[in-house]
Amino acid sequence: MANIFAERLDALRSMMRSRGWDAVILTGSDPHGSEYPAERWKCVQWLTGFTGEAGDVVVTLDHAGLWTDTRYFIQSVRQLDGTGVELHKMRVPEQVPIHEWLAGKFADESEVYFAVDGICTGQEFISGIKQAINAGGAACHIVSIPDMLDAIWQDRPGIPQTPIFTVDPGESRIERLGRLRDFIEAKGCDYILLSALDDIAWVLNVRASDIEYNPLVISFLLVGPETAEWFVQKEIVEDPVTEATFAQLQDDGIFLRYYEETEIALSEVDGTVAADTGTLNYHLCSLIGPARLIPCPSPVKEWKAVKNPTEIAGFRDCHVQDGVAMVRFLHWIEKCIQNDREISEWDAAVKLGQLRAEIPGYQGDSFETISAYGPSAALPHYITPHSGAPVLEAHGLYLCDSGGQYLNGTTDITRTWALGPCTPLEREDYTLVLRGHIALASAVFPADTPGCRLDALAREPLWAHQRNFGHGTGHGVGWFLGVHEGPQDIRQNLNGTGFRPGMVTSDEPGIYREGMHGVRHENLLLCEDAGTNDFGGWLRFEPLTLCPFDTEPLILEMLTPAEREWLNNYHAVVYSTLRPYLDDADGEWLRRKTEAV
């Protein structure tokens, strides 16, 4: 049987031959530089079958390659089998990025023509390719074809439209627009264009469900000293909630325009436009032109990373309710195993979703639940099969990485749980990862320390036993926004953004052994002030996540007295906070699971 993805590659190459293109470059993003694109813009997935969150594709007449990082190596090998697409590994010492590979591939050519979907390709990405090709002596021609795949993607989904509503984060949209206007005045420009969907949602205090797991509205926002124009995909408004939201926006002086009018407005705007070329797509950047474009990072990313008191209170509240759901879930899992009730990874994921759905203010999951038993957990970004999922057994480790979107915050939690007897290696890995988690969670560090300098704290217990993991240790989290949010993070990559009080970040070290097991422990942490002395200001973390860690698989002798104290204190807070919301059976289970070790 012919592989459907190989057939799609053949169709794309026929288009390339007819138009004289040397290569087609597709990114796994959308017109807004989003991490999670809507179905319409999952071009890499449609062409290759690869479902990972990070992947770019290059197709030439004799080669097709997928560039992705260490999180997806095992997954991509499986999904690309038979497609004719070859894996190119990133975040490894021998990596060859796309621009370098293209430069080598076409080193002997005098000129090359590369086709891109200009609305789904970032300006900085294209600039890197041009520089690499030109440095080799060839003339690089970029052919921008918006919605390029329309010619061969016959049933391509349209742009989603979901109801838009207003949220109250403790700061009005008028105040936030005022911050933007102060910024453009200081920058000496006439306008600022926001293209990142979470930036726009934060400024306007609006939410929707245009992208799965992310409460965002597909749109662009152009703000001037006296005007604000919101280009939004809502041709026909029939939803009363959206109509009310639009009325509020207009009352606040925000002019609503059709999403499709963005191109016309930018080509005609009179004055200079500040824009973040890290998220601005190549097509719109070309329309603004170099004479009018002022490249600069979006100031919104820094602003929304620091949560205000209302947002912090919301985070705390939603984590209490989320913790209750997690306790009920883990107790249910344990009872099923003890009573020999057969449940699969997918059954468990569905159950957790049902428990979260009972929480007032729940708006859906913050990402697709990773429910993974045994070898499945060795894939950090495992996709749980909806049918034929592995069955949980009364031994070994079960990993569940999940989260919820709530009207008052966003959660992200991973727990690894022993379903029965564990091997010595499983127990050792489990203990080392928890030690790494505790090391970061209990850290006290100078104010404005960047996460790249904190990352080693979580890895040191693993490194001491010559073990490591290939993903970042922590990412920022939005307030009822994206579960992955910058600009701060905790990873080995150099990132100079320093930590400040009010930032919310994950703490999630892990160990993964292909074909055997995976371990990850994750809480969300709130960065808070730890005081000032002769050596300057200091910061520390407060755990927001409230859920016990399984102490059964721990090798207690490997824990230091300080690590035991941290774990016991954390469990005491978990029990005292969650117990009032649980029935007697769940409460008694939680008491046993939080006993001091």
For the segment 480-532, what is each residue's pLDDT rounded down to a tens digit? 999 999 999 999 999 999 999 999 999 999 999 999 999 999 999 999 999 99
Q: In DSSP terms, which residues pair with 517 in a beta bridge? A: 513
> 66, 24 in Cβ contact below 8 A?
no
pLDDT of res. 380: 87
| pLDDT value of residue 166 | 97
| CA atoms of 474 and 418, how far apart (whole Å) | 24
Neighbours of 101 (CB within 10 A): 17
| C-alpha torsion sign, points 124, 126, 129, 135 | negative
Radius of gyration of the chain (CA): 25
Average pLDDT, the chain: 94
* Structural domains in the chain plus CATH codes: 4-151 (3.40.350.10), 165-297 (3.40.350.10), 306-593 (3.90.230.10)
Name the β-bridge partners of 539.
445, 529
- Taking residues 108-131, report their average pLDDT: 91
pLDDT digits (tens, 9 = 90+) for 371-407: 999 999 998 888 899 999 999 999 999 999 999 999 9
CB 99 within 8 A of CB 128: yes
Model confidence at 274: pLDDT above 90: yes
Residue 492's nearest CA partner among 529, 460, 540, 522 is: 460
pLDDT digits (tens, 9 = 90+) for 542-573: 999 999 999 999 999 999 999 999 999 999 99
In three-state secondary structure terms, 176 is: helix
Residue 168: band (very low, low, confident or very high) from pLDDT cuts 50, 70, 90: very high
Cα→Cα distances 584→323, 337, 575, Å? 16, 20, 13
Q: Phi then psi for 365, rounded to 5 degrees?
A: -75, 155
* Residue 20 vs residues 5, 23, 114, 148: alpha-carbon distances, Å: 22, 9, 9, 15
pLDDT at 1: 53
- Band of the pLDDT at 169, cuts 50, 70, 90? very high
pLDDT one-digit tens code per residue, 278-321: 889 999 999 999 999 999 999 999 999 999 999 999 999 999 99
Look at residue 60 and give its three-state secondary structure. Answer: strand
Q: Which range (61-70, 435-444, 494-503, 518-527) has the least confidence?
A: 61-70
What's residue 233's pLDDT? Answer: 78
Report residue 323 as tokens: 């913790």
pLDDT-above-70 percentage for the chain: 99
